[in-house]
Structure 1
Amino acid sequence: MSGIRTARMLLATVCAVAVSTIYAAQPMLAHIGRDVGIATSEWGWVIAAGQVGYLIGLIGLVPLGDVIDRRRLIALHLVLCAAGTLVTASATGAAVLVAGLAATGLFAVVVQTAVAFAADLSAPAERGRSLGVVTSGVVVGILGARVVAGILTDLWGWRAVYLALAAMLVALAVAVLTRLPAEARMSRRTYGAVIGSLVRMFAVPFFVSRGVIAFFLFASFGTLWSGLALPLEAGPWHLDATQVGLFGIAGLAGALGAARAGWWADNGRASRVTGAALVVLALSWIAAGQATWSIWLVIIGVIFLDFAVQAVHVSNQSLLTEAFPERTSSAIGGYMVFYSLGSVLGATATTAVYAAAGWAGCAVLGASFALCGLLTWALSRPMAERPAKLDALPAT
């Protein structure tokens, strides 16, 4: 049991650091944009570059976890992700910056390989709890990166953030090779067959319904975290990068929600938790939308929003690993395609909406995404409450 706990914590740390490489840019956006010479109206693409790379990696790299030893695969992707962060740190122009961020995002999909590995290392009765713990690492990375990145930016500049991430990624690669068990793959499936299996999942209604919920879920999440710095750095607050980054501490409450959601999933409540959390997500925007006059309401909104997002995310992944027990890497990778697309939509739409309608317009946008996710859940609820094991689908 202690070995499983050690593996969970190491994989959670891998997730935290790897996902930080994508989200660290958000509190530093103005600093990066001005330093590299990117127009304010195009700052959203700094965030989107990593998400686009992530999307490509979800389709092309994560399914490798169903074919080869995931311990070695995780270590390799950590090293390559470190190389991408070094390119980003050295960028003096927009082209190199975007290329570095895209490469970083491409190999940051090690997060999903780690999540699938954690699920497969666990007994079926504890799979939800393992997913909750490892996904908590994702939350810590997404939100903690904002806090640390803001502080380091004010002390030593934004490039120091990516240099620190590169060092941590390499150290984790060594830890993974020495501390995690090797996998003995019995399947003779080829990479092409696994990719074909992933493509066919997109014709399965249950899989698509979970994915569409994730699309709207992370579009709403991206709306908050891609745009929140804009009203906080403007009047009447005029907060600096460190102060904006500290709002990530409020969001860390979502990590507690993620771990608890895994326990609920192990007890058969994943679908009900999803619906209730989507309601909370929509309502959280009432408070989060008050950034122009109340810091405390924003903090309340951030806490509830991140709790809701992670509760839905863990519940979805638990249902998918139950339905596709022999293809967990492909199922989670395919599901995260919807996540990535939603994040890109949130990042790019928010800056445009803010320019046109201010933070109030962004709040309406984020709440609308949440309500669309709730509608999808309501329409697909019968499937979610009786998820069949779908690995027996024909290969052709």
Structure 2
Amino acid sequence: MARTPTTFPRLDRRLVAVMALASGLVVANSYYAQPLVGSIAESFDASTSEVGLVVTAGQVGYALGLALLVPVGDMVERRRLLRWMLAATAAALLMMAWSPTWQTLAASAILVSTGSVVGQILVPFAATLAHDDERGRVIGNVMTGLLLGILLSRVIAGLIAEIAGWRAVFVCAAVLMLITMCLIHTLPVSAPTTDSGYRALLASVVRLVTTEPVLRQRIAYGALTYASFGVFWTTVGFLLAGPNYEWSQAQIGVFTLFGVAGALAARVAGSLADRGYSRQQTGVFVAVTATSFFLLGVGEHHVIALAVGVALLDLGIQGTHISNQSLIYPLRPDARSRLNTAYMTCYFLAGSLGSVLSTVAYFTGGWRAVCVLGGFFPACGVLLWIREMCGSAGSPREVGVEQQANGT
């Protein structure tokens, strides 16, 4: 049974900054291991392919957290839920730091990534705390923190590992989780929005997908763009480490910082969404995502084209993502965590599919095949958007949602 959502005073910048910082600190846990595979393999006298399963285990854990933990944000008081998750994540990070084998490390990585969906609980929490006319901006700011956490995590992990070894990375991460617990304590209490039991809660996620056409449409845009993200970032390391560039792991890690354009796009897209441009800007951002793969293709031999392509890719993907969220959260104010579960689970699965297909494309057709595949997904999204805009001015349901999100 749904409850009437609590009305909160207008958010001040301090609380938004706290949620953005907490999101970035926690999401980084899922990415620290990526640049450390070689060091970990050497420590355990294992192959890099075996230790690579630690990264895969993290992806599995994150998917489990999305499906099983994020919906609980509608059922229990969010601040208390977040504190318990952070405490468990800190303990699992210490298990990673002192793992005697790579198998234990992989098992601990599942627990860490399951708990690291804190950011996916904080985003709908921020949407709940925000007023209608500021929701897009608030979501954009929190997502900026989350994206910066992803971008900086690999670089920071490499620096700490070089100074103190790879185990120190996870000890430091555990300490950061304890600090994040203190940050979370400053957030307001948020009453549960449903009396449903856990099983009914999970079942309602499926019902939301079947009964909310705007949610299904936004899932499609998100999936098509994030699949291209998986396509690019899975294989770009092969290109940069290959004969055309022959870059070191440190150079590759620094190169990922060109993705900071995605963090900037989150802020801009959120502000425009508050002005009622969510549907219009969706087409622009999806088209930017598709166009980026032309430059990424040229970037096989030209680093400047590759860098600009990366910036455009992340700008397009994150702009689309924020536009989607600004239209999804007003659909059911009592079910924002479950809306996020439905959207993000499909989003994450699409990225995983893109990763798998990208590997096949690279080893069968090279970098050019990767770029064709990556451009295909958002190109389909552009066609979907054109059909939506030409078919009508928007369904009554979607127009009403956009007006509600815009506070009109």
CA distance 1:232–1:27, change in 2 (3 Å):
farther
2:397 and 2:272 mapped to 1: Cα distance? 13
DSSP-derived class of the 2:247 partner: coil
1:309 matched to 2:309: no
User: Conserved in 1, the CA contact under 8 Å of 2:127 and 2:139?
Assistant: yes
User: Conserved in 2, the CA contact under 8 Å of 1:41 and 1:352?
Assistant: no
1:69 matched to 2:77: yes
In structure 2, the gaps of 5 or more residues are 1-8, 403-408
1:88-99 alignment to 2 at 5 Å?
88-91=96-99, 93-99=101-107
User: Conserved in 2, the CA contact under 8 Å of 1:24 and 1:149?
Assistant: yes
DSSP-derived class of the 1:238 partner: coil
User: Conserved in 2, the CA contact under 8 Å of 1:231 and 1:291?
Assistant: no
User: Conserved in 1, the CA contact under 8 Å of 2:74 and 2:193?
Assistant: no
1:107 matched to 2:115: yes
Tell me the number of residue pairs that the alignment of Structure 1 and Structure 2 aligns: 389
1:70 and 1:196 mapped to 2: Cα distance? 20
1:281 and 1:71 mapped to 2: Cα distance? 36
Deviation at 1:388, TM superposition (A): 4.9
Report the AA paired with residue 306 of structure 2.
V
User: Conserved in 2, the CA contact under 8 Å of 1:278 and 1:312?
Assistant: yes
Q: TM-score, normalised by structure 1?
A: 0.89
Q: 1:197 aligns with which of 190, 197, 204?
A: 204
Q: 1:5 aligns with which of 1, 13, 17?
A: 13
Report the AA paired with residue 214 of structure 1.
G
Q: TM-score, normalised by structure 2?
A: 0.87
Stretch moving more, 258-267 or 337-346: 337-346
Please name the residue that 2:406 is paired with: none
User: Conserved in 1, the CA contact under 8 Å of 2:15 and 2:187?
Assistant: yes
Q: 2:195 aligns with which of 185, 188, 197?
A: 188
1:126 and 1:163 mapped to 2: Cα distance? 37
1:125 matched to 2:138: no
Please name the residue that 1:294 is paired with: 302
Report the AA paired with residue 99 of structure 1.
A
1:19-59 Cα offsets, whole Å, 9 max, x none, are 11123333344444565566566776543322222222112
1:386 matched to 2:394: no
Please name the residue that 1:361 is paired with: 369
1:273-284 alignment to 2 at 5 Å?
273-284=281-292
Aligned-residue identity in percent: 34
Higher-Rg structure is 2
1:307-334 Cα offsets, whole Å, 9 max, x none, are 1111011111110012122211111121
In structure 1, the gaps of 5 or more residues are 391-396
2:378 and 2:44 mapped to 1: Cα distance? 34
Cα RMSD (Å): 2.6
User: Conserved in 2, the CA contact under 8 Å of 1:323 and 1:387?
Assistant: no
1:114 and 1:324 mapped to 2: Cα distance? 17
Stretch moving more, 28-37 or 138-147: 28-37
1:153 and 1:320 mapped to 2: Cα distance? 40
CA distance 1:87–1:310, change in 2 (3 Å):
same
User: Conserved in 2, the CA contact under 8 Å of 1:41 and 1:351?
Assistant: no
Q: 2:55 aligns with which of 47, 51, 55?
A: 47
1:341 matched to 2:349: yes
Please name the residue that 1:116 is paired with: 124
CA distance 1:157–1:332, change in 2 (3 Å):
same
